Chains A and B, each alone.
Chain A
Amino acid sequence: QVQLVQSGAEVQRPGASVKVSCKTSGYTFTANYLHWVRQAPGQGPEWLGWINPNIGATVYGQQFQGRVSITVDTSLRSTFMELRSLRSDDTAVYYCAREGLDGTVPLDHWGQGTLVTVSS
């Protein structure tokens, strides 16, 4: 079955960077786009961006441009999300999610989430 397993919780200082990993299994890795979504405490989900694992092409939300990088390592069947210049309002649970192959491209499988806490 399809699984996305993320790395563990992180605590970072303001101004630092964080890199979260997401290891996939159970499907052809290069067949589906992978997305990253975050959710601040008590808030709705916020989309960060996506990557095409086949060619490494990315699209990011405008508010994260210049601060976020999404990459893949096909040999590891993994995607990585790095967020730089962390601020306290970056404290959130970060999720990876697989885009389905239906023409309307929903997010059909999600990782378990990684809590990133930004605190001095």
Chain B
Amino acid sequence: DIQMTQSPSSLSASVGDRVTITCRASQNIHTYLHWYQQKPGKAPNLLIFGASNLQTGVPSRFSGSGSGTDFTLTITSLQPEDFATYYCQHSYSAPRTFGQGTKLE
């Protein structure tokens, strides 16, 4: 199975900050990497697919980069509604594992 490792597990930031979350895959997954945002009591919501493509309706302050094994999610100019937990997930093969999450607070 491909293991997904996110860092940091939690991140303290303020409105207006720029933050970066990283995700590392245990083997080459090309760009089969997606980022989700989850708020308490809600389902995950797709932000970035294929490592760097912004899902329709997602603000442009979110961006993703990387390929192979190392990926990043960047949020520029944090807004109050961005404080949530973020997960990466690969879709290269089964099982489609998720990272353990990064709580932005």
Contact = CB atoms under 8 A, between A and B. Distances in A.
Contacts, number: 66
Given A46-B98, A105-B91, A106-B34, A112 B43 contact: yes
B40 to A, nearest CB: 11
Nearest to A35: B96
Contact of B96 (A44, A47, A103, A108): A47
Nearest to B98: A45
A61 interface: yes
Interface residues of B, number: 26
A44 B101 contact: yes
Q: Which of B43, B94, B101 is packed against the most chain A CB atoms within 10 Å?
A: B43
Given A104-B31, A108-B55, A110-B43, A47 B49 contact: no
A111 B43 CA distance: 7
Contacts of A50: 94, 96
A108 B49 contact: yes
A59 B49 contact: no
B46 interface: yes
Q: Which of A44, A47, A50, A61 is packed against the most chain B CB atoms within 10 Å?
A: A44
Given A45-B87, A45-B89, A108-B46, A102 B53 contact: yes
Contacts of B50: 102-104, 106
Contacts of A47: 89, 94-98
Interface in A55-100: 59, 61-62, 95, 97, 100
B34 A107 contact: yes
Given A45-B98, A113-B43, 12 more contacts: A37-B44, A47-B95, A50-B94, A62-B95, A97-B43, A103-B50, A104-B32, A104-B91, A105-B91, A107-B34, A107-B36, A112-B43
Interface of A: 35, 37, 44-47, 49-50, 59, 61-62, 95, 97, 100, 102-108, 110-113
5 contacts: A44-B98, A47-B95, A61-B94, A104-B34, A110-B45
